Structure 1
Amino acid sequence: MREISLDRLRTLVAIADHGSFAEAARVLNLAPPTVSLHIADLEERVGGLLLSRTRGRVQPSAIGETLIERARRLLADAEQALEDVERQVQGLAGRVRLGASTGVIAQLIPQALETLSQEHAGIDVQVAVLTSQQTLQKLADGSLDIGVIALPQSPVKGLKIKPWRRDPVMAFLPARWACPDIISPAWLAAQPLILNDNSTRLSRQVGEWFATEGPQPTPRIQLNYNDAIKSLVAAGYGATVLPHEASTPAPESRIVMRPLQPSLWRELGIAHRAGEVERSTRHVLEVLWELEAL
């Protein structure tokens, strides 16, 4: 089935608006025979008369009125679609899909989104809670645009991975406990613990840290929601080890933080597809890089 061209619909609307073929040709910058050809094509396609001459003026027929009404909506939608795409190409609007862990989303991403809303309010960032491996996989298959991942990572073909920030991992302990000023693996292993599960790189790092002075302890509970972990620590259920970003507030009064000995760091990187990056994605990347040193 032959489709109806938007150019022919635009010609029909112009004739209806200006009441003549000649004026429509002038407004659309078309030759008069081209205007006549457009209408003949449309009438052949719909199988009926679209226009008629009444007292020297071209008027739509009943069929023509129906098509013109729909044509105006189609042309307006097409124009809006082009404007939306142009805004996205210019970086004024668009959708950016970002993947990160719960801890990063809770502590770092809100700062980036606040800045982005002030500088580029038309950009919509869709955030997904993912592990680093899930993030890399979705970046590779094109279903994500940016990923915040734990480092180090093996190179992934087609992806660009750069170090972003390095934050200390601290002990978070119930304030009512009698705690040393510096926390060693041996001391902490003897306490009830709430830790990330072994699907995370932080869990593996913490396991290696405990292994410097003994075997890996068995935690009372494992989960990957850092705010929930801190709530349990505040309730006195156990201690944990989590990253602490300098830009985030200190924990509530029922929790104390202590440095680890040996020290431990959580390193993060930013990943995106190699090659040309859309402007909206570049704007989000720029905002994230502003948090590099915070």
Structure 2
Amino acid sequence: MRELSLDHLRTLVAIADLGSLANAARALHLAAPTVTVQIADLESRLGGQLLVRGRGPVQATALGERFIVRARRLLADADDAVEDVRRQLAGKTGRVRVGASTGAIAHLLPPALERLARDHPGIDVNVQVLTSNDSMARLAAGSLDLAVVALPQAAVRGVHVTALRREAVVAFLPASWKAPKRLSPQWLADRPLIMNDASTRLYRLTAEWFSAAGLHCRPRIELNYNDAIRTLVAAGYGAALLPDESHDPARDPRIIVRPLSPALWRQLGLAVSEAGASGTTRTVMEALLPGSHS
């Protein structure tokens, strides 16, 4: 059987509700012959009579009564689907896939997720732990909508990057170490180091900081999980260069933090897939961007 037309179903329901083809035509702003043709076409497609036309109100046949019940459901489902799309385009509902490092997930995303849960409860944010390189690749492939990435990033077709925030990189040391108030590359190069793995932007940023002083850093271990790195620092295993998260209320007393000299900064950005930049994705972006909320 050929596909059913929603317009034809809407006309059928209007006739059932209003009692005549003429009343349905006026309500739907259609010419009377158009209504007649639509019902005839619908009955032809179904292979059975749906309405009995005679004197007085139009009556549905037994077949028509059963079909009209289904038609109402189909029209309601179609209206719901259209409304759902409209709400997504307006940024009120939908699912957004977000990639970020463990550090960003632990310290940057929670306030934004709290605001979204309060102001936009219809938005479902799916967070994935990814490096910046992985996030950019998935954005380009269309399997991710939004990501917090370390800058700079090489241009990727179909992905737009906006600056988000700048964070100071500081040294996390075992509290048992005797350290000056500011730490130089020379001082740190003589100590055991715990670093992010070589695939991360933070590793390259740190290596460049040592290289500018004519030094080559040799990490004792590489990890891509900042909380695990801090645990090893607290155990006295080595020093780590990580973004300063001074707002963290759970800082371990076995760790001391020192600024670097020269200063080292990490720039973060928001990367978004142009193909997936729907209203819902924009709503999540606004929750993450500084100055876009009170």
TM-score range, shorter chain: 0.7 to 0.9
Q: How many residues align?
A: 291
Deviates more, 1:43-52 or 1:187-196: 187-196
Partner of 1:269: 269
Percent identical residues: 58
Q: Using the alignment, how far apart are the partners of 1:249 and 1:266 within structure 2? A: 21
CA contact (8 A) 1:171 1:259 kept: yes
Partner of 1:99: 99
The correspondence of residues 243-258 of structure 1 with structure 2, limited to 5 A, is 243-245=243-245, 247-249=247-249, 251-258=251-258
| TM superposition shift of 1:199 | 0.8
CA contact (8 A) 1:186 1:213 kept: no
CA contact (8 A) 1:185 1:213 kept: no
Q: Deviations over 1:220-269 (max 9, x none)?
A: x3221112222333344433221014554462323221122332211112
Q: Using the alignment, how far apart are the partners of 2:189 and 2:66 within structure 1? A: 78
| TM superposition shift of 1:204 | 1.6
| TM superposition shift of 1:109 | 1.6
Partner of 2:147: 147
Partner of 2:31: 31
Does 1:89 find its partner at 2:89? yes
- The amino acid across from 2:58 in the alignment is V
Q: Deviations over 1:159-181 (max 9, x none)?
A: 43333222111111233444443
Partner of 2:166: 166
Partner of 1:110: 110
SS in 1 for 2:182: coil
Partner of 1:64: 64
| TM superposition shift of 1:273 | 4.7
CA contact (8 A) 2:168 2:243 kept: yes
Partner of 2:130: 130
| TM superposition shift of 1:282 | 2.9
- The amino acid across from 1:67 in the alignment is F
TM-score normalized by the length of structure 2: 0.85
Partner of 2:288: 288
| TM superposition shift of 1:61 | 2.4
TM-score normalized by the length of structure 1: 0.85
Deviates more, 1:16-25 or 1:273-282: 273-282
The correspondence of residues 203-282 of structure 1 with structure 2, limited to 5 A, is 203-211=203-211, 212=213, 214-219=215-220, 221-245=221-245, 247-249=247-249, 251-273=251-273, 278-282=278-282
SS in 2 for 1:95: strand
Partner of 2:4: 4
Consecutive unaligned residues of structure 2, counting only runs of 5 or more, are none
Q: Deviations over 1:64-111 (max 9, x none)?
A: 233222211110011111112222233333333332222222211222
Partner of 1:46: 46
SS in 2 for 1:150: strand
Q: Using the alignment, how far apart are the partners of 1:291 and 1:241 within structure 2? A: 28
Q: Using the alignment, how far apart are the partners of 2:84 and 2:78 within structure 1? A: 10
The correspondence of residues 173-184 of structure 1 with structure 2, limited to 5 A, is 173-184=173-184
CA contact (8 A) 1:52 1:59 kept: yes
- Give the alignment's Cα RMSD to 1 decimal: 2.9
CA contact (8 A) 1:98 1:127 kept: yes
| TM superposition shift of 1:195 | 1.9
Pair 276,216 (structure 1): closer, same or farther in 2 beyond 3 Å: closer
Q: Using the alignment, how far apart are the partners of 1:291 and 1:186 within structure 2? A: 39
Q: Using the alignment, how far apart are the partners of 1:249 and 1:260 within structure 2? A: 22
| TM superposition shift of 1:200 | 0.2
Q: Using the alignment, how far apart are the partners of 2:47 and 2:227 within structure 1? A: 67
CA contact (8 A) 2:149 2:269 kept: yes
| TM superposition shift of 1:198 | 0.6
- The amino acid across from 1:60 in the alignment is A
Q: Using the alignment, how far apart are the partners of 1:90 and 1:149 within structure 2? A: 26
SS in 2 for 1:290: coil
